[in-house]
């Protein structure tokens, strides 16, 4: 059998096709998965913004300020009951109303505690709480406030003994990700 003679133009086309194949594959992957990649980017907490004590920082359509993080009770097994108070001044109601809110306490080693329901006996004895209902972060977002409104937000946490002085509040909102806020505790 004799080898077929291949013309230079055919060889050139073959070479172009070979180089075009990986590019077509890469383009296909981008077209198929760009929505997933965008979703991943918008759902991750990738860039922390440190908020100095007693200052406000903008996130997810509001200016957020830490008003206080207090140990309000201790359970029988030594666990600390903590109360976190925040203030939010709404700037963009539409962005602010996107649920859910992720407000947690974070330890230096990366461990995170989510809010918990506290028994009324643990919080109602605080003077400023008598007769008042302070919304949680998600309740505040769901209330769909107008621009310029100042909201008080409060969440309860239960921490292991000895952790109450080591944690810092971290706030992450869908409209703000991949950025999130980490608040410094005053004093």
Partner 1 sequence: MSGAFAKLGALVLAAVLLVGMQRYTPGYAEITGPIPLTGKIGETLTGRTFSVRADKVLLAERLRFKAYGREVERDTGGVFALVIAALEAQPASVNVGSAIWRSAQGARFVASPRFQGAPRLLGTDRLEPGLPQRGLVIFEIPRESVAGATLLVAASRWPRLDTQAEIALPATLDTPAPLIDLSELAYE
108 touching partner 1, by CB under 8 A? no
Whose Cβ is closer to partner 1: residue 80's or residue 151's? 80
Which positions from 110 to 149 touch partner 1 by CB under 8 A, shown as an x/- string?
xxxxx-x---------------------------------
- Note whether 41 and 176 are within 8 A (CB): no
Which alpha helices (H) appear in 68-110, and where do they start and end?
93-96
Measured CA to CA, the distance from residue 92 to residue 96 in angstroms comes to: 6
168 touching partner 1, by CB under 8 A? no
182 touching partner 1, by CB under 8 A? no
Measured CA to CA, the distance from residue 179 to residue 170 in angstroms comes to: 11
Whose Cβ is closer to partner 1: residue 167's or residue 173's? 167
163 touching partner 1, by CB under 8 A? yes
Instruction: Output the six-digit token pair for 67.
Output: 């008003």
What number of chain residues touch partner 1 (CB under 8 A)? 15
What phi, psi does 11 have (nearest 5°)? -60, -40
**Which range in 35-43, 81-89, 109-117, 138-146 contacts partner 1 by CB under 8 A?**
109-117
Q: Buried b / exposed e across 117-134, counting CB within 10 Å, b at 16+?
A: ebeeebbeeeeeeeeeeb
158 touching partner 1, by CB under 8 A? yes
Whose Cβ is closer to partner 1: residue 89's or residue 163's? 163
């Amino acid at each position: 059998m004799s080898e077929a003679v291949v013309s230079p133009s055919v060889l050139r086309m073959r070479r172009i096709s070979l180089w075009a194949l990986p590019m077509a594959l890469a383009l296909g992957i981008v077209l198929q998965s760009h929505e997933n990649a965008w979703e991943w980017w918008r759902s991750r907490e990738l860039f922390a913004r440190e908020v100095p004590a007693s200052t406000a920082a903008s996130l997810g359509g509001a200016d957020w300020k830490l008003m206080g993080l207090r140990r309000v009770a201790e359970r029988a097994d030594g666990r600390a009951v903590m109360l976190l108070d925040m203030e939010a001044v709404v700037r963009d109601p539409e962005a602010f109303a996107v649920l859910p809110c992720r407000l947690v306490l974070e330890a230096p080693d990366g461990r995170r505690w989510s809010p918990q329901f506290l028994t009324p006996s643990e919080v109602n004895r605080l003077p400023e709480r008598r007769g008042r209902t302070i919304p949680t972060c998600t309740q505040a977002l769901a209330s769909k406030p107008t621009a310029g409104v100042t909201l008080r937000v409060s969440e309860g946490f239960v921490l292991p003994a000895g952790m109450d002085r080591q944690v810092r509040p971290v706030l992450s909102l869908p409209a703000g990700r991949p950025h999130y806020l980490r608040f410094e505790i005053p004093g």
